[in-house]
Amino acid sequence: MIEVKHLYKSFEDKDVLKDINTVFEDGKTNLIIGQSGSGKTVLMKNLVGLLEPTKGQILYDGRDFVQMSKQEKVAMRREMGMIFQSAALFDSMTVLENVMFPLDMFSTMNYRERVHRAQECLDRVNLKDADEKFPGEISGGMQKRVAIARAIALNPKYLFCDEPNSGLDPKTSLVIDDLLHSITQEYNMTTIINTHDMNSVMGIGENIIFIYEGNKEWQGVSSQVMGSTNQKLTDFIFASDLLKNMRQMVIENGLHLNDNA
């Protein structure tokens, strides 16, 4: 579980995150949503330590990440996996070498065991016969799957995904979403996904945090989104006229909503 308490982040005079308080739960796909520039990427970078918060606490199972020494942070990061928006695979390495990389660096396995584990991860993301290919030779969707395989190679406790569906077609996005969701449950990880893909929100959002201009505007689950009375959230999620009309029709036709947040 990751707890964020009174988190602030400023760049010079600009306050990007303002008093964020939230909890990301174990075994759930936690989604951070918000418009471009709302601060969700900054929040994720603070969570993984790529940026230092101006003030506040980030507690990983009770351990304050902000107060940790450099060595403690390095050790802590070995419990994290991250999937970047651009996949961030190493160009000079093959798919198999990319997945083996964290194992080469940190595991005590011998070469054969490392290859076996890497292939196991590639099988888990349904990527076969691509071992010897370079990242430039495979599609964007495959790159994302390699990135997922690399991120789970060391069985991380926390998985961070920065816009994993960015640049993918809707069908491939669903495949990636399902994969992340099933891996989260399988490994009981705390998964945090930064997204503005509404299919992800409605499909796998077990804990959704909506960031608006640096503030946590709303928090809930996907079933609460449709009936939410939060104007900023509905304006963001049902941005087009088509979606607004569809939402109106659903509500008018008496779709049973469990909760109205």
Partner 1 sequence: MFLKQYINEMAQLGINSIGIVLIISFFIGAVICIQMKLNIQSPWMPRWVAGYTTREILLLEFSSSIMCLILAGKVGSNIASELGTMRVTQQIDALEIMGINSASYLILPKILGLLTIMPFLVIFSSATGILGAYGTAYLGHIIPPDDLTAGLQHAFVPWFVWMSIIKSQFFAFIIASVPSFCGYTVEGGSVNVGKASTDAVVTSSVLILFSDVFLTQLLS
102 binds partner 1 (CB under 8 A): yes
**Shortest CB 74 distance to partner 1, Å:** 4
* Least separation in angstroms between CB 91 and partner 1: 7
Nearest to 1 by CA among 113, 107, 157: 157
Minimum distance between the CB of residue 104 and partner 1, rounded to whole angstroms?
Answer: 6
Q: Does 89 bind partner 1 (CB under 8 A)?
A: yes
Choose, by CB under 8 A, the member of 13, 14, 105, 258 that binds partner 1: 105
Beta bridge partners of 5: 57
Residue 63 binding partner 1, by CB under 8 A = no
CA–CA distance, 45 with 41 (Å, rounded to integer): 6
Closest by CA position to 193, among listed 202, 180, 183: 180
Residue among 7, 17, 42, 80 that touches partner 1 (CB under 8 A): 80
List, in order, residues 6 or more apart from 75 with CB less than 8 Å away: none
Q: Which residues, in sequence order, are bridge partners of residue 220?
A: 208
**Interface residue with partner 1, options 90, 137, 182, 248 (CB under 8 A):** 90
Task: Rank residues 31 and 153 by Cβ distance to partner 1 and give the closer one.
Answer: 153
State the Cα–Cα distance between residues 137 and 12, nearest whole angstrom. 41
Number of residues that bind partner 1 (CB under 8 A): 25
> What track of x and - describes contact with partner 1 for positions 146 through 175 (by CB under 8 A)?
--------------x---------------
Nearer to partner 1, 24 or 160 (CB): 160
* Calpha distance 244→81 (Å, rounded): 36
Stretch that binds partner 1, among 44-52, 107-115, 218-226, 235-243 (CB under 8 A): 44-52
Q: Are 231 and 238 in contact (CB under 8 A)?
A: no
Q: Which of 77, 133, 232, 244 binds partner 1 (CB under 8 A)?
A: 77
The label of the residue with tokens 């292939």 reads 119
- The interface region with partner 1, picked from 55-63, 72-80, 175-183, 213-221 by CB under 8 A, is 72-80
CA distances to 95, 98, 109, 122, 154 from 105, rounded to whole Å, are: 16, 11, 10, 18, 10
The minimum distance between CB 107 and partner 1, in angstroms, equals 11
In contact, 89 and 135? CB cutoff 8 Å: yes
Shortest Cβ 117–partner 1 spacing (Å): 15
Identify which of residues 160 and 236 has a Cβ nearer to partner 1 in the complex.
160
Q: Which residues contact 243 (CB under 8 A, 6 or more apart)?
A: 198, 237
Strand order in the sheet with 207-212: 80-83, 158-162, 190-195, 29-33, 207-212, 215-220
Nearer to partner 1, 97 or 206 (CB): 97
Tokens of 132: 């010897």
Residue 88 as a binder of partner 1 (CB under 8 A): the answer is yes
86 binding partner 1? (CB under 8 A): yes
Contacts with partner 1, residue ranges (CB under 8 A): 48-50, 73-78, 80-82, 84-86, 88-91, 101-102, 104-106, 160
